[in-house]
Structure 1
Amino acid sequence: MAQPVVRIPEAKVALSTASVYPESTATAFEIAARLGYDGVEIMVWTDPVSQDVEALRRLSDHHGVPILAVHAPCLLITQRVWSTDPWVKLQRARSAAERLGASTVVVHPPFRWQRGYAREFVNGLWRMAGETDVRFGVENMYPWRYRDREMLAYAPDWDVTNHDYRHFTVDLSHTATSRSDTLAMVDRMGDRLAHVHLADGSGSGKDEHLVPGRGNQPCAEVLEKLAGSGFDGHVVVEVNTRRALSAAEREADLAEALAFTRRHLAASRAAGDERKVPRT
């Protein structure tokens, strides 16, 4: 019987610089190069290097690690990074992506108290998307929970599939936190799914960002589904390593996440190739 040929999936696997926190953006490039990631996603936050396009370009060139995506500064702790105006933040993220050769800008839905921004968000993103080849992948979020109370912190909605965006980012830690049906959400996103944040979660009220395989999310099934569909976006490992007791433990977690991702992206392709091989 002929042996199936395992083809390398089209999707590239990147390391989010957030995955090495509290270490620096520069450390993320070092680890990505050492472990063999295909690139990095830059989380723009309070680290000055993450905000400096020329510094990022030098790191990319030095380590031979391309920058595949830029995560706009949407977090509470980054409210003053790149301006306090959220539209300026997105414009600067787009400019950074264009200058660095990144194909995607990841953006969260607005907070509910950003009323003007939230009101114009959907239409404004369509306008910006029409001005560039960079894709704005709007990321699914989750309700904020405290004990038995639930607060809807995002507008127009934490479930981004309820609105008409050109491109989506799916985050599997966020689907765990929102207690969503992950595979159903991926199906709703359809061919507008441009970007994946791969992490795991247990369904607690916390956004855990566990190493894939350590929670209850269908990480393997999502990867195999994407590979089987010819997904050509990026899969970004975005996990929490803050509890790592040493640099070696952090790196082992990130190596495990990379191996998991590549194994399951290849699994669907291998199965498909095997079905096509004539039996002898």
Structure 2
Amino acid sequence: MKWTLSLSSGIAYTRPLSDLLAPVRQAGFSRMQVTAAPGHFDYRNNERVLSLRREMDRLGIRTTSMHAPYGGKADLSSLHESNRVAAVAEIERSADALVSLGGKVLVLHAGTEDEDARPQWRIRLSQSRASLARLYAYCRKLGLVLAVEDMLAHLVGGRTEEVLWVMESLPREGAGICLDIGRSYLSGELLHRVKQFGDRIVMVHAHDTMGVYDDHLPPGEGMVPWPSLLNRLADTGFDGEIVLEINDRPGAPDLIERARKSALFLQRLASAAGYSIDAG
């Protein structure tokens, strides 16, 4: 079993993505998931997207995937139809940028960031399914894979059964699940969720937590049972991308160096279990 490892540009989502490239390459990372966050990466400006592609090519960094915009104007579950349609169009723009960068997998949230929306979960997820149907068709035309990410369990789209229900509406070819390790651990169902999602997992967002908050710590710095997790992933036949999704938070210095150490940590665990993780 061999997996590839990438670094999410969300490690510095409060700063311009271009400022991150050289330090990331110096740390040994050559694959990146680009985060479509305001002030970080302007996916709407094609000239800037192409300029970023040239700089990444020069440094030897390959875009493997993109985290689409979410929340606010990009809420695919919006109950206001005009807002939902606008959210789909916004994410289609990010898909266009991903193609220009040479990536293949578009990660998105099917639920909502609105913490007061839980009573509306049925209609919200129905709205999401309508949005995903259009986005799936759009991504297929572009040659992209759509990856639906699980959310925090208290949010719409964060429960295991909700993710599975949403995925029922999408074909297996060209669509899968992005398993968020920290959120799944906080749900209390991490290993169960891996089994339930099974071979629909096409990507993993790897980060750790101390068990209370969605900390986005480097793997190995929290409470996630990584050896058991890797074994359970292997049991599903997972052969996708593992993305280090470590967030830029106040009081968290040297994140790139900590990301490098966490990559080595995961490689050692995988090697001990007879697997391989390629971080280069």
Secondary structure of 2:267's partner?
helix
Q: Which amino acid aligns with 2:35?
A: M
Is the counterpart of residue 262 in structure 1 residue 267 in structure 2? yes
* Aligned equivalent of 1:233, options 240, 253, 262: 240
- Residues 185/22 of structure 1: CA separation in 2 closer, same or farther (3 Å cut): same
1:66 matched to which residue of 2? 62
The answer on whether the counterparts of 2:199 and 2:237 sit within 8 Å (CA) in structure 1 is no
Map Cα deviations across residues 96-130 of structure 1 (whole Å, 9 max, x no partner): 22222212000001325895843513433443454
The answer on whether the counterparts of 2:66 and 2:105 sit within 8 Å (CA) in structure 1 is yes
- Residues 264/77 of structure 1: CA separation in 2 closer, same or farther (3 Å cut): farther
* Aligned equivalent of 1:175, options 176, 184, 206: 184
Q: Unpaired segments of 5 or more residues in structure 1?
A: 1-8, 145-151, 272-280
* Aligned equivalent of 1:45, options 30, 33, 37: 37
Secondary structure of 2:274's partner?
helix
1:171, CA displacement in angstroms?
A: 0.6
User: Could you state the TM-score of these two structures normalised by the residue count of structure 2?
Assistant: 0.76
- Residues 50/17 of structure 1: CA separation in 2 closer, same or farther (3 Å cut): farther
1:201, CA displacement in angstroms?
A: 1.5
1:55, CA displacement in angstroms?
A: 2.9
Secondary structure of 1:11's partner?
strand
- Residues 25/136 of structure 1: CA separation in 2 closer, same or farther (3 Å cut): same
What are the within-5 Å matches in structure 2 for residues 109-258 of structure 1? 109-111=110-112, 112=117, 117-118=127-128, 120-144=130-154, 152-154=155-157, 159-163=162-166, 164=168, 165=170, 166-177=175-186, 179-204=187-212, 206-227=213-234, 231-244=238-251, 246=253, 249-258=254-263
Q: Distance in 2 between matches of 1:243 and 1:78?
A: 26
2:10 matched to which residue of 1? 18
Q: Distance in 2 between matches of 1:173 and 1:250?
A: 17
The answer on whether the counterparts of 2:2 and 2:275 sit within 8 Å (CA) in structure 1 is no
1:169, CA displacement in angstroms?
A: 0.1
Percent identity of paired positions between Structure 1 and Structure 2:
23
Q: Which amino acid aligns with 1:254?
A: A
Secondary structure of 1:269's partner?
coil
1:40, CA displacement in angstroms?
A: 0.5
The answer on whether the counterparts of 2:108 and 2:149 sit within 8 Å (CA) in structure 1 is yes
Q: Distance in 1 between matches of 2:220 and 2:243?
A: 15
- Residues 184/158 of structure 1: CA separation in 2 closer, same or farther (3 Å cut): closer
Q: Unpaired segments of 5 or more residues in structure 2?
A: 76-82
Moved more, 259-268 or 219-228: 219-228
How many residues of Structure 1 are paired with residues of Structure 2 in the alignment?
249
- Residues 230/32 of structure 1: CA separation in 2 closer, same or farther (3 Å cut): farther
Map Cα deviations across residues 173-194 of structure 1 (whole Å, 9 max, x no partner): 21133x2311111111211111
Map Cα deviations across residues 1-54 of structure 1 (whole Å, 9 max, x no partner): xxxxxxxx6321111011124343123322321121240000001125442421
